[in-house]
Amino acid sequence: MTPRATQRLQFHKGFTFADAEALVPYFADLGVSHLYASPITTARKGSMHGYDVVDPTTVNPELGGEAALERLSAALKQRSMGLIVDIVPNHMAASLENAWWKDVLTHGRASRYARSFDIDWDADGTVFLPWLDRPAAGADIAAEAAKAGLPQPGAYRLGWWRTAGDRINWRRFFDINELVCLRMEDDETFERVHALVLRLCAAGTIDGLRVDHVDGLADPAGYCRKLRQQLGTKYLVVEKILLAGESLPQSWQCDGTTGYDFMNEVSALQHDPEAATPLADAWATLSGRTGDFAVEEEAARREILARSFGAQLEACVDAFARASRFEDISRPALRRVLTELLVHFPVYRTYATAETRPSEDAPFLARAVSGAKRTGLPSDGWLIDQLHAWFQDPAQDAEPLRRFQQLSAPIAAKSVEDTGFYRYGRLLSRNDVGFDPHRFGSSAAEFHAQMRARQRTFPQAMLATATHDHKRGEDVRARLALLSEDPAGWTTRLGNWIERAPRLDPADLAMLFQTVVGAWPLDLELDDAAGRKVFAERVAGWQEKALREAKLRSDWAHPDEAYEKQARDFTVALIAEDRHLTLLTDIFTFIQTIAPAGAVNALAQLVLKLTVPGVPDLYQGTEYWDFSLVDPDNRRPVDFAARRRSLGTTTLDMALPSWRDGRLKQIVVERLLALRRAKPQLFSDGSYEPIEAPAHLVAFRRRHGADAVHVVVPRLAGHLVLDPGQITLNKDAAFRLAGDAELFDDRLPLSVFSTFRR
């Protein structure tokens, strides 16, 4: 069955299938129809996320194994609920715990698994292993191999880990040496990887699949169609980042994406588009860096390509050089032109195969070509044109295209999400996974157009506002969005704070202060020393990751420990200690002035997710406030016991005065999921009809037959809140729509009315 609403859970040895089974009554009472599980197949021992799979043919024993999974599924079925599972077809762990990989390292090309991994065997017939902590010239290779538990050398070459980007001859997941990519285009490999989950689907244990990083595959469209054929009508969604006006092709035969696109759309709605330029100009002045993200992105793409994907670029050049049309073209020329195209590619990838060149790819190719001509050598223009024509000709060899497409996707991810977003601090709420950095804000009319398109094309796609990938929790972003309503005031305040801070890079300080403002817990008071210490450690963890991902003052390969310590010392001193108490008091006071409006924004975002076309997903525990930061912070244990206690026992009279504790958000979730349960067709098949409203409101109607629901939520809510300590709106912002049944009390800063058949 198609999910009505999902609850995403992160499984690991500290949170098992048995733990989830005990919570099934709570999830049922909350109103979700399906649990949505992180990967369940056997991962590396102690894995906290499950994406480092070592055996896709077995259920992870650390989670309880197949028997515990069956018990969880049975408990869900007793409540008329289901289970969706995240699968990882793109990669496995490059670990000796992985029997397939160990077999390849033992037998080389003769291994029965040699075709399963994306290895360039034509190089010298061996696998390059970047496992040494020093140059190979200074290492006893036999001793190092024995220490690592490797088989005798012959099928592999040990090398220094720092040389991996330039020497590796197998495709990694992004630039992670510990993850080796798979070849789903190989039928035998497809069957091996999917045998378990397809068996569990056929048995009814699993009711749907979420495909991780579909763009890493050689042929995502063909893969999805093949999976659909074997799944039948079961729910199937793909993790796909949509950029630059891109849409998911319906020919893939899946139910939609996992909802990162909605997260981007609803976030843009809450940002004032008029603030884009003044905030960008202010960022440039404060940081000394560019105010134009396109400039930051281009520099990051060139850097990432050079430092992390040199070997994969060379393999791509090799493939093009072998094509008959380019046999007279020099390798340096091909390398230059392919580099420029990759630098300017506006989306993750195109989807050409040996049989077809999709027409949807054409505008993105044209933009890449235009950019390549602008920044490349004028004398290479003719070759750019040749490549452009070649990309669109289905008569050509598909191998070079496969290489290019499977390179452009990780370049986009590493350059934008894992580098550019950590260098560009115009407003951090617009820097998140799947977000379009070139689009700061949008109008209600634009949002309505997006929702109507969603209703026409993928009405059962997921709707996410928080994920295991997010860089800031959904309510962090909702609060930070308020800063776009007063860019001048925010910029003045931020500049003042930077001037009063110790000598750190002003860009790093600007991002730190934004993070503190956005993520400060609603229940954390200045006199709570223990709470401040916990929060300081969380922010310091984010800060270390941010500095290293930015790759400016520090990075993962070459940490600048002195600068990192200086940054950490200030963060801890600011938040946890009293050495900068005057500054912290100013920051805290400002947070308290915007926190109520931030909560209004958060509730508006929540109501939209629960009422627009699609399947709303609650990331674990976000039925309470979500002020998490990037992983591992967003994978912290959830206090489900508190959520169980409050569900069904808290009234609005109790929740409104204590709105900071999260119970009010849970009430909104519970009531709207109850409405979805009572009228499933209204939300699965109902129309989406925009209602004309003032600029500070978003209003629409969902209608199916005689049933209808009317939704009105505030937009740009900073000036609408009446009392700085409460979340009621001033009378000038009051709104009502006539209806027979009022779903929410007038005291709430949002409105959902329903009219039903009698």
Tell me how crowded residue 616 is: count the other CB atoms within 10 A of its CB.
Answer: 27
Instruction: Indicate if the pLDDT at residue 513 is higher than 50.
Output: yes
Q: What are phi and psi of 116, to 5 degrees?
A: -75, -30
pLDDT band at 21 (very low <50, low <70, confident <90, very high): very high
Q: What is the mean pLDDT of residues 77-96?
A: 98
The pLDDT of residue 717 is 83
Instruction: Indicate if the pLDDT at residue 741 is higher than 60.
Output: no
The pLDDT of residue 745 is 67
CATH 3.20.20.80 maps onto the chain at 6-90+185-258
The pLDDT of residue 722 is 64
Question: From CA 96, how far away is CA 54, in angstroms rounded?
Answer: 9
Question: From CA 2, how far away is CA 232, in angstroms rounded?
Answer: 12
The pLDDT of residue 740 is 39
DSSP state for residue 327 in the 8-state scheme: T
Q: What is the mean pLDDT of residues 736-748?
A: 54
Fold of 6-90+185-258: TIM Barrel (3.20.20)
Instruction: Indicate if the pLDDT at residue 429 is higher than 80.
Output: yes
pLDDT digits (tens, 9 = 90+) for 250-268: 999 999 999 999 999 999 9
| H and E: helices and strands count for the chain | 27, 19
pLDDT band at 421 (very low <50, low <70, confident <90, very high): very high
Out of 120-124, 273-277, 371-375, pick the least confident. Answer: 120-124
Question: From CA 403, how far away is CA 405, in angstroms rounded?
Answer: 6
Question: From CA 458, how far away is CA 258, in angstroms rounded?
Answer: 11
CATH 1.10.10.470 maps onto the chain at 484-592
Peptide linkage before 632 cis (omega within 30 of 0): yes
> In sequence order, what are the residues at sequence separation of 6 or more whose Cβ sits closer than 8 angstroms to the Cβ of residue 549?
418, 419, 422, 555, 556
Q: Containing H/E element for 189?
A: helix 187-203
The structural architecture, per CATH, of the domain 99-181 is 2-Layer Sandwich (3.30)
What separation in angstroms does the CA of 323 have from each of 329, 361, 390? 10, 21, 10
Tell me how crowded residue 24 is: count the other CB atoms within 10 A of its CB.
Answer: 18
Instruction: Indicate if the pLDDT at residue 284 is higher than 90.
Output: yes
Question: From CA 11, how far away is CA 8, in angstroms rounded?
Answer: 10
pLDDT band at 198 (very low <50, low <70, confident <90, very high): very high
Q: What is the mean pLDDT of residues 665-685?
A: 96
The pLDDT of residue 738 is 38
pLDDT band at 324 (very low <50, low <70, confident <90, very high): confident
pTM: 0.96
Instruction: Indicate if the pLDDT at residue 327 is higher than 90.
Output: no
The structural architecture, per CATH, of the domain 484-592 is Orthogonal Bundle (1.10)
The pLDDT of residue 737 is 41
Instruction: Indicate if the pLDDT at residue 742 is higher than 90.
Output: no
pLDDT band at 229 (very low <50, low <70, confident <90, very high): very high
CATH 3.30.1590.10 maps onto the chain at 99-181
Which token pair is 224? 């999805």
Question: From CA 659, how far away is CA 625, in angstroms rounded?
Answer: 10
Instruction: With beta carbons less than 8 A apart as the criterion, state whether 620 and 638 touch.
Output: yes
pLDDT digits (tens, 9 = 90+) for 577-608: 999 999 999 999 999 999 999 999 999 999 99
Tell me how crowded residue 747 is: count the other CB atoms within 10 A of its CB.
Answer: 12
- Provide the terminal-to-terminal Cα distance of the chain, rounded to the nearest Å: 27
The mean pLDDT of the chain is: 94
Instruction: Indicate if the pLDDT at residue 756 is higher than 60.
Output: no
Q: What does 449-497 look like in DSSP terms, one character per residue?
A: HHHHHHHHH-TTSEE-S--TT-SB-HHHHHHHGGGGG-HHHHHHHHHHH
Give percent of the chain with pLDDT exceeding 70: 96
